[in-house]
């Protein structure tokens, strides 16, 4: 961001449990070195969207979002997810509705104001916003939809359903650009629950971050490979699940990430339930041991442009040492104007 810091905004799992329907707030965090972080507190609450009272028979929640800076303002693109309680909470029978909204602020550590409670034409969750080198702005959301975003930041133009790996795509779309290529990453469909005695069962669909590569921001795209394996795979620097040779959060498989470039290096930000797994001796169900924590690991590309699967760790990345001032003041040169005679 313009202040030279990396800014991260997260949804927040409820400390008292209750699962995804109790996610009601966003917090912003910032760092100058990717190791030391400041929690700037709440910047948006579900009450800012739907008012003070819960609509009867509806559970509203704030899920995964994206933050972008544009022309002196900071914009949050976030999903509104509504669950109608009359059909219950079971995955196969529940009834839900979701769409994308946008809020704005003068600073990423201050309260955001909703400027469009529903972007017309959007549906689904997990928005990602991307500004290309030519200045065009794109919004990605839902079941791999993409659209140009107007400069007013509250309307989209000509949404299209991009062709990705339709058999595996589930959610969590993200766009980044590297060496002139466009990389769309996403969370894949997976089978659950995970067998605690055989988590690497080759017959089970895995919860992965996969990616596709294209030459334009709306495609076409070709499958590229795996960006991030299932959470906890090959993590060595951690206590193991009692009686097993893997970390406890290996059994919790929501896999969601975002890619950030900082001083010449790209990083994958993603979540695990590592911290909440350590806080109790036995798993007690969703919303208790599944509170998520943020991990950051380096992202590397091969000479052929394909991404190498991220090596997950708990030690995280090395401290980034900045060798330049955060703010660079440019001296304005004097300009001599020529006067022309018009005839």
What digits encode the pLDDT tens for the residues 183-242?
A: 999 999 999 889 999 999 999 999 999 999 999 999 999 999 999 999 999 998 788 888
Give the pLDDT mean for 145-150. 98
Per-residue pLDDT for 2 more than 80? yes
* pLDDT at 288 > cutoff 70: no
Which pLDDT belongs to residue 159? 97
- The confidence band for 56, taking pLDDT boundaries of 50, 70 and 90, is confident
The pLDDT assigned to 343 comes to 39
**Per-residue pLDDT at 287:** 56
The predicted model gives 128-139 an average pLDDT of 97
State mean pLDDT over 288-310: 91
Mean pLDDT on 146-166: 95
At the second CATH level, the architecture of 162-320 is 5 Propeller (2.115)
pLDDT score recorded for residue 295: 94
Is the pLDDT at 282 greater than 70, yes or no? no
Q: Where in the chain is the domain with CATH 2.115.10.20?
A: 1-127, 162-320
pLDDT for 256 equals 94
Q: Please give the mean pLDDT across all residues of the chain.
A: 90
pLDDT at 30: 96
pLDDT higher than threshold 50 for residue 293:
yes
Given this model, what pLDDT does residue 92 score?
85
Residue 339 pLDDT:
43
* Percent of the chain whose predicted confidence (pLDDT) is above 70: 91
Q: Domain 1-127 belongs to what topology?
A: Tachylectin-2; Chain A (2.115.10)
> pLDDT for 239-259, tens place per residue?
888 888 998 888 887 899 999
pLDDT over threshold 90, residue 342: no
Asked if the model's pLDDT at residue 333 lies above 60, the reply is no
Q: Are 230 and 210 in contact (CB under 8 A)?
A: no
pLDDT at 33 over 80: yes
Task: Mean pLDDT check: name the lowest of 36-40, 137-141, 184-188, 244-248.
Answer: 244-248
pLDDT of 41 above 60: yes
Average pLDDT over residues 10-30: 89
- Determine what percent of the chain is predicted with pLDDT higher than 90: 71
Please report which confidence band the pLDDT of residue 265 belongs to, taking 50, 70 and 90 as the band edges: very high
| Residue of higher predicted confidence among 273 and 149 | 149
């Amino acid at each position: 961001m313009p202040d030279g810091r990396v800014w991260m905004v997260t949804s927040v799992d409820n400390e008292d449990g209750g699962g995804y329907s109790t996610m009601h707030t966003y917090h912003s965090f910032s760092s100058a070195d990717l190791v030391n972080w400041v929690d700037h507190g709440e910047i948006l609450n579900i009450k800012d969207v739907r008012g003070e009272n819960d609509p009867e028979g509806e559970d509203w929640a704030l899920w995964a979002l994206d933050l972008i800076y544009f022309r002196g303002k900071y914009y949050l693109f976030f999903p509104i997810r509504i669950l109608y309680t009359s059909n219950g909470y079971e995955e196969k029978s529940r009834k839900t509705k979701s769409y994308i909204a946008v809020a704005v602020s003068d600073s990423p550590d201050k309260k955001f104001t909703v400027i469009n409670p529903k972007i017309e034409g959007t549906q689904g969750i997990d928005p990602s916003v991307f500004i290309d080198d030519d200045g065009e702005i794109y919004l990605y959301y839902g079941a791999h939809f993409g659209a140009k975003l107007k400069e007013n930041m509250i309307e989209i133009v000509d949404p299209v359903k991009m062709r990705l790996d339709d058999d595996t795509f589930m959610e969590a779309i993200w766009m980044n650009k590297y060496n002139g290529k466009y990389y769309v990453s996403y969370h894949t469909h997976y089978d659950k629950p995970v067998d605690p005695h055989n988590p690497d069962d080759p017959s089970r669909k895995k919860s992965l971050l996969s990616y596709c590569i294209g030459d334009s921001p709306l495609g076409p795209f070709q499958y590229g490979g795996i960006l991030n394996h299932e959470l906890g795979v090959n993590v060595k620097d951690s206590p193991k699940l009692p009686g097993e040779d893997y970390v406890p959060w290996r059994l919790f498989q929501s896999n969601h990430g975002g890619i950030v470039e900082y001083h010449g290096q790209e990083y994958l930000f993603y979540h695990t339930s590592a911290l909440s797994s350590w806080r109790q001796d036995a798993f007690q169900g969703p919303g208790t041991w599944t509170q998520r924590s943020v991990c950051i690991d380096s992202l590397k590309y091969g000479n052929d442009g394909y991404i190498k699967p991220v090596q997950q760790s708990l030690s995280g990345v090395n401290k980034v040492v900045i060798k330049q001032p955060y703010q660079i003041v440019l001296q304005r040169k004097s300009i001599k104007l020529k006067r022309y005679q018009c005839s």
